[in-house]
Structure 1
């Protein structure tokens, strides 16, 4: 009885009400995690240490230890190559997507004619990434068009990247920075197509910044460049962390190695090896997430 009274008293406080509403908003996710994710998650871990074969009584699961993990690393060379390529693409693309999204969000926040149309243009790749459009891309006509565009645009991008590389090297820019920036030019389509949601998140965050802060900065003589580094960037820094996590997870689901994992499981019916590959890739992405969030969270500014 006393416990119920203490619980009722705590819920009447402001902190208690925030906790209650937080649990209410989290309840759908928690229920979905327990009933739709936790069971297959634990089964995949069991399968990764087992050999699965069909039998007369159903599926026979035999414990084999780390044999599937050893096979994934030593026998299936395609997995090693595609996993390293996917992780490298994530490490390269995530900073480019975040910088591009923040830059576009700052521009789209300005007042100019056709601003709503411009915002919809940059969110269009998110719509084009839907299931219907992806199915259309599997048709022979669309594939032929994409191949022709890749052949023509690939040569143009290569020439443009070579010219940009030559100019920056002559200007004395570090070689590693030059290679990174020229690589960004070659990845421009990939960067733009994966930046729609991040632009919206940054745009929503910028619009919550009080205009009085910018008015005061102008009175004090601050330039637009200084206002961005001293006001805009610190105020949207929590959203940088959100977008980094979202972009890593989004890149994780788009990577070609996921198709290889599904092919091993559902085409070759080797669910043990497929589960081991999935866990290796999952742990590598978790490591990238932990390093990224730990590094960025130290620089995040929270306005109290």
Structure 2
């Protein structure tokens, strides 16, 4: 009897090892890709940022230079400081606007009305347009020329609209800081709409998971739609506010002139050391903003059990 028990225990252990091996086999492609296409290039760029990199017939030569590339990025390259400041300011301004706009649109698109599916697809369309060939076409010289041709009339209309909005709000006694923020939002309307597709989809999925019984109970208690939003909808989707905020910050990595400056410095001027230093400075700035934002927002998040 003892022999049979030992054999069964051995088979169970071998079955567990077999499952573990299968798990490792499934994870191995991702693990190899992570090591060779992410971890090694990441560490290599960190080494490059402290070095002078030269390429010749014998290969790539690396000469350690300490913090010289970081000092050069801040003191010699005048465009870097300006672009870094603009990227951070635009991120701080755009992220709240995109998250608020996405939540508002998700609540609207969750209502029942004629053409709801079509309206949802319209607001998700910028996500499709911002990929592949269409993104290249959008930034092409032909489209840029058309935009420049229309910039006179379109820019004038936007300027007049912002000026009129600013005048009305100042007459109403609204704070100048709030007025400047809102008029800036009007000027950024294209960027806000084009970058809100994924966030709207995430909020919409979260809203649809809320039990309709909660709204029915609140309606029976006499709650208005405004009260239902702040007491039910907003707390239930607050974890997704954190998710969308983090996604929007990370998404801003590839949506500014600074990334183009880093690419040009590395692959046009072939100054890989300075390019790597710029990339790491930008990465650390984004990481600090991300950690601070996640800490502040996570304190207000409501997790439903």
Task: Confirm or deny a common fold (TM above 0.5).
Answer: yes
The 1:39/1:242 distance shift into structure 2, 3 A limit, reads same
Tell me if 1:127 matches 2:125: no
Structure 1 equivalent of residue 220 of structure 2: 219
Structure 1 equivalent of residue 51 of structure 2: 50
Distance 2:26 2:236 in 1: 25
Measured on the aligned residues, the alpha-carbon RMSD in Å equals 2.1
Structure 1 equivalent of residue 296 of structure 2: 295
Give how far 1:34 is off: 2.4
Distance 2:64 2:232 in 1: 57
Q: TM-score, normalised by structure 1?
A: 0.90
After superposition, where does 1:79-90 map in structure 2 within 5 Å?
79-90=80-91
After superposition, where does 1:40-189 map in structure 2 within 5 Å?
40-189=41-190
Distance 2:261 2:26 in 1: 36
Structure 2 equivalent of residue 234 of structure 1: 235
Q: Look up the SS of the partner of 1:284 in the other structure.
A: helix
Distance 2:222 2:26 in 1: 44
**How many correspondences in the alignment?**
287
Q: Look up the SS of the partner of 1:52 in the other structure.
A: strand
Q: Which structure 1 segments of 5+ residues have no match? A: 13-21
Give how far 1:143 is off: 1.9
Distance 1:50 1:230 in 2: 55
Structure 1 equivalent of residue 20 of structure 2: none
Render the CA deviation track for 1:13-67: whole Å, top value 9, x for unaligned. xxxxxxxxx9999877655322320000000000000001123422110000000
Structure 2 equivalent of residue 285 of structure 1: 286
Give how far 1:154 is off: 1.2
Give how far 1:254 is off: 1.3
Render the CA deviation track for 1:263-285: whole Å, top value 9, x for unaligned. 00000000000000000000000
Distance 1:135 1:79 in 2: 24
Q: TM-score, normalised by structure 2?
A: 0.89
The 1:23/1:210 distance shift into structure 2, 3 A limit, reads farther
Q: Which of structures 1 and 2 has the bigger CA Rg?
A: 2
Distance 1:253 1:301 in 2: 31
Distance 2:240 2:24 in 1: 22
Distance 1:24 1:231 in 2: 44
Q: Which structure 2 segments of 5+ residues have no match? A: 1-8, 17-22
Render the CA deviation track for 1:54-89: whole Å, top value 9, x for unaligned. 234221100000000000000001011001101110
